[in-house]
Amino acid sequence: MNKGLYIILAILIVVLIFLNSERFSFFNKEPQISSRDQTVNTMDLKSQDCSIKIEEMTVRGSSLDPLIKPEQTIKALFGYYNCHEIERGDVVLFDYAGNKNSIIKIVKGISGDKFELRETEGGWNIIVNNKYVKNFEGKPYLISGNRYKMLALYERDYKGMIPENAYLLLSNQISGSVDSTRFGLVDKSGIIAKVEI
């Protein structure tokens, strides 16, 4: 082959690498997932940023034990909720102002859910859509004292409905922990990643 053909082939290869560099980063240590590779139902989201950054993290604490144990490695999908709805049952990272690190919780109530506290012996149960909210062992949450007061304010102010872009995040501890029993319903903006176990 002649020298001119080699030059043209080399230029084509460089152009192809440049065009694909937005989807595949050869120098980035963190894997990137394009929404086109991940899911097909994001086409109607009106050109939102659907890039997802996956980061492996080690869990500190035991609030979700036995689902997630202390020192267990999880994958956090940052940017996932730019393209997907938060769903009941999702395990998420929440950027809580009272902690230097993000906290990991499970979504027990989503926007539009009916929400109430029902008094029982020893405290109050959390009811979502007329069902007792239960932890991983099937035990209903039973909160008291200030934890009851915090959620009771939300129940009163929002007339028993979880408002738009608000979520009920709980741990596995039926009496509550650093979760919605302490800080109330949370805004979507504070939920920074979906967790894969």
What CATH code is carried by the domain that includes residue 113?
Answer: 2.10.109.10
Backbone dihedral angles phi then psi of residue 143, each to the nearest 5 degrees? -110, 160
0.85 exceeded by the pTM? no
Please give the residue range of the domain that contains residue 110.
3-196
Residue 127 near residue 133 (C-beta atoms within 8 A) = yes
Residue 107 near residue 132 (C-beta atoms within 8 A) = no
| Domain count for the chain | 1
Integer angstrom CA distances of residue 91 from 22, 26, 101, 146: 29, 30, 16, 25
197 residues of the chain, pLDDT tens digit each: 566 666 776 676 655 444 443 333 323 222 222 222 233 333 333 445 689 999 999 999 899 999 999 999 999 999 999 999 999 999 999 998 877 889 999 999 999 999 999 999 999 999 999 999 999 999 999 999 889 999 999 999 999 999 999 999 999 999 999 999 999 999 999 999 999 98
Instruction: Retrieve residue 127's tokens.
Output: 């009811």
**Nearby residues of 193 by Cβ (< 8 Å), 6 or more positions away:** 55, 76, 77, 78, 79, 80, 81, 92, 93, 102
